[in-house]
């Protein structure tokens, strides 16, 4: 007996796009069809994504089909009519559009296949919810010190993590000589996320307006509450430091500078410096100046309050941190009583997010 379902090809294509957030370690995607929904699933060693696609039609069984990575174009089509028929040969996908048609068969999962079954949707009924744009900004800002690209091994994953502290409403990341603290009132839960998971979360956030964040003993889940699509990843045990709030008030020097001006100055300086990682950043009435042992590299206008001064900083770290900043303006602070040799780069955003990045001076 053949069951025939009608699917919106755009939703099928979107579901595939969401599943592709995680590159499948098995080199294929699972296509599970049940009476309730079509589910497209991808997994690697630690992460997985599941997208849900509605259909019209009646089916009274649950079947799983496997589509290899090199055949995903079979689900990546937009047409006026898309049907999926469950036959003895497999799932027959057919697209019909203005007298043209295309048909392909996707094979069933082998009865003896030693591969995991698609997981169930986690219970997110009481989970904290965040607006996706806010969550994405929080993750982007904390990535400045998270060593995302440097997190490649299991040992890296234990060390390079971002930590959520619900009691303080902050998320933190820490590298050897620099750190970031991001604050928003929606962070009312504790969690630790491996730095290399951040791009996957951001990819998922780009496809929904709001997410629920929940976790169990072994996994963390980011769920779209509208359709139950979700991204999950295995927790990695690491050293979770105690959070201690640090005041950035009463600096000896306060500087306000245009973000593009700062980026342009640092980009030029990084290219012009030769033979040393050290960049001298100095400030004087009306100007921020970058120089090194052979002389001045460039300067740009600033709003400035405080005495003139200077600090030596690693240019590569400056470039890394500033690359994650957003908006049009940024505040620089130096000479904070509790951290006299630390430059603090701060921003405040209209959505209530605040970020502070701490860079230790070179000796």
Q: What is the pLDDT along the chain (363 residues), one digit of tens a residue?
A: 578 899 999 999 999 999 999 999 999 999 999 988 999 999 999 999 999 999 999 888 899 999 999 999 999 998 999 999 999 999 999 999 988 999 999 999 988 888 888 999 999 999 999 999 999 999 999 999 999 999 999 999 999 999 999 999 999 999 989 999 999 999 999 999 999 999 999 999 999 999 999 999 999 999 999 999 999 999 999 989 999 998 888 999 999 999 999 999 999 999 999 889 999 999 998 999 999 998 999 999 999 899 999 999 999 999 999 999 999 999 999 999 999 999 999 999 999 999 999 999 998
Are residue 268 and residue 297 in the same domain, yes or no? Answer: yes
Are residue 341 and residue 273 in the same domain, yes or no? Answer: yes
Are residue 149 and residue 230 in the same domain, yes or no? Answer: yes
Give the CATH number for residue 315.
3.10.150.10
pTM score? 0.94
Domain assignment of residue 303, yes or no: yes
Is the Cβ–Cβ distance between 255 and 265 less than 8 Å?
Answer: no
Domain with 169 in it: 129-234
Are residue 76 and residue 163 in the same domain, yes or no? Answer: no
- Residue 333, phi then psi, degrees to nearest 5: -130, 140
Q: How many domains does the chain have?
A: 3
Pick the closest to residue 163 from 238, 260, 78, 97 (CA basis): 238
Alpha carbon distance 48, 29 (integer Å): 11
Domain end among 234, 261, 282 = 234
Domain assignment of residue 101, yes or no: yes
Domain assignment of residue 243, yes or no: no
Domain assignment of residue 349, yes or no: yes
Are residue 89 and residue 138 in the same domain, yes or no? Answer: no
Are residue 227 and residue 319 in the same domain, yes or no? Answer: no
Based on its alpha-carbon atoms, the radius of gyration of the chain, rounded to whole angstroms, reads 25
Are residue 276 and residue 349 in the same domain, yes or no? Answer: yes
Domain assignment of residue 327, yes or no: yes
Domain end among 106, 138, 171 = 106
Alpha carbon distance 42, 217 (integer Å): 22
Enter the tokens of residue 220.
């963390």
Domain end among 91, 106, 121 = 106
């Amino acid at each position: 007996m053949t069951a025939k379902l009608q699917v919106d090809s755009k939703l099928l294509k979107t579901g595939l796009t969401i599943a592709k957030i995680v590159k499948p370690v098995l080199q294929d995607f699972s296509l599970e069809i049940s009476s309730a929904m079509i589910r497209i699933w991808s997994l690697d060693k630690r992460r997985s994504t599941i997208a849900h696609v509605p259909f019209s039609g009646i089916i009274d069984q649950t079947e799983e089909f496997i589509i290899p990575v090199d055949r995903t174009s079979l689900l990546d089509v937009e047409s006026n009519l898309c049907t999926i028929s469950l036959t003895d040969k497999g799932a027959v996908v057919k697209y019909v559009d203005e007298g043209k048609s295309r048909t392909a068969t996707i094979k069933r999962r082998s009865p003896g296949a030693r591969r995991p079954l698609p997981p169930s949707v986690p219970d997110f009924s009481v989970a904290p919810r965040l607006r996706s744009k806010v969550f994405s900004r929080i993750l982007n800002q904390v990535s400045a010190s998270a060593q995302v690209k440097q997190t490649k091994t299991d040992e890296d994953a234990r060390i390079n993590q971002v930590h959520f502290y619900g009691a303080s409403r902050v998320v933190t990341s820490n590298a050897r000589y620099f750190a970031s603290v991001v604050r928003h009132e929606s962070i009312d839960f504790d969690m630790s996320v491996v730095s290399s998971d951040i791009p996957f979360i951001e990819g998922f956030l780009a496809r929904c307006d709001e997410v629920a964040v929940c976790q169990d003993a072994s996994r963390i889940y980011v769920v779209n509450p509208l359709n139950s699509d979700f991204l999950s990843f295995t927790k990695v045990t690491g050293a979770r430091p105690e959070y201690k709030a640090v005041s950035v008030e009463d600096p000896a020097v306060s500087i306000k500078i245009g973000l593009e001006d700062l980026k342009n100055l640092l980009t030029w300086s990084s290219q012009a410096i030769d033979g040393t990682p050290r960049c001298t950043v100095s400030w004087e009435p009306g100007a921020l100046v970058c120089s090194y042992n052979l002389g001045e590299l460039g300067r740009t206008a600033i709003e400035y309050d405080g005495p003139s001064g200077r600090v030596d900083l690693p240019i590569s770290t400056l470039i890394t941190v500033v690359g994650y900043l957003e908006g049009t303006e940024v505040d620089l602070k130096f000479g904070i009583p509790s951290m006299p040799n630390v430059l603090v780069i701060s921003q405040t955003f209209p959505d209530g997010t605040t970020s502070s990045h701490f860079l230790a001076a070179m000796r």
